[in-house]
Copies of this chain bind each other. A is one copy, B any other.
Amino acid sequence: MIRYPNGKTYQPKQAASSLKKKPSYSNRGMTLEDDLNETNIYYLNHSIAVIHKKPTPVQIVHVDYPKRSAAVIKEAYFKQSSTTDYNGVYKGRYIDFEAKETKSRTSFPLQNFHDHQIEHMKQVVAQGGICFVIISAFGEIYFLEAEKLFYFWERKNQNGRKSIRKDELEEAGHPISLGYSPRIDYIKVIDQLYFSPS
């Protein structure tokens, strides 16, 4: 075992990708959403950050109000979200992100996003918020800054490829190793990118 001077163990970057059985969500019985929710609870309980997943947007059409019991929604439809799924605050700064996974072994399809979400991310970036996506792909978790996603999105809009190639994501994204607690420590990446002394 190799240790850095700060006592942390050295984790060779190629270790995970060189394993034959990759840590995918399908064989752990957990979803990316589960892990992010656990992570956010950890951050909340340790006063590190206040980040919540937004409720699923629903168009309510019909509600019954039975006597002496709770109102029952009898007809409703799922609506497309006009924003991202997660937001909150870290050290006073606004945090905003979306989480996506792919089972593809070669590329991350951009159809995972829709125009409204990209538009929202651009507004957040313009307003000085910290905006990114967490992508589970190829047996890794990547932190991809919104500005880099915009590049691939523009390329698609100019009749380029409709996905981010594996090697492009490895180059543009920041890998987050899965931990026990917190499971997906994305705040560590935020610290490095936005709060490290320059």
Contacts and interface: CB of A to CB of B under 8 A. Distances in A.
Most buried by B among A71, A87, A120: A87
A102 interface: no
Contacts of A94: 88-89, 92-95
Contacts of A74: 74-75
Contact of A70 (B73, B77, B92, B96): B77
A77 B72 contact: yes
A160 interface: no
Count copies of this chain in the complex.
Answer: 2
A91 interface: yes
A110 interface: no
A127 B91 contact: yes
A70 B79 CA distance: 10
A193 interface: no
A58 interface: yes
Contacts of A96: 89
A44 interface: yes
Contact of A92 (B54, B57, B75, B128): B128
A127 B40 CA distance: 14
A90 B124 CA distance: 9
Interface in A85-143: 87-96, 120, 123-124, 126-129
A59 to B, nearest CB: 9
A89 B127 contact: yes
17 contacts: A49-B127, A55-B56, A55-B57, A55-B58, A55-B79, A56-B60, A58-B58, A71-B77, A72-B75, A73-B77, A76-B76, A88-B94, A89-B94, A92-B127, A92-B129, A93-B128, A94-B95
Interface of A: 44, 47, 49-50, 52, 54-58, 60, 70-79, 81-83, 87-96, 120, 123-124, 126-129
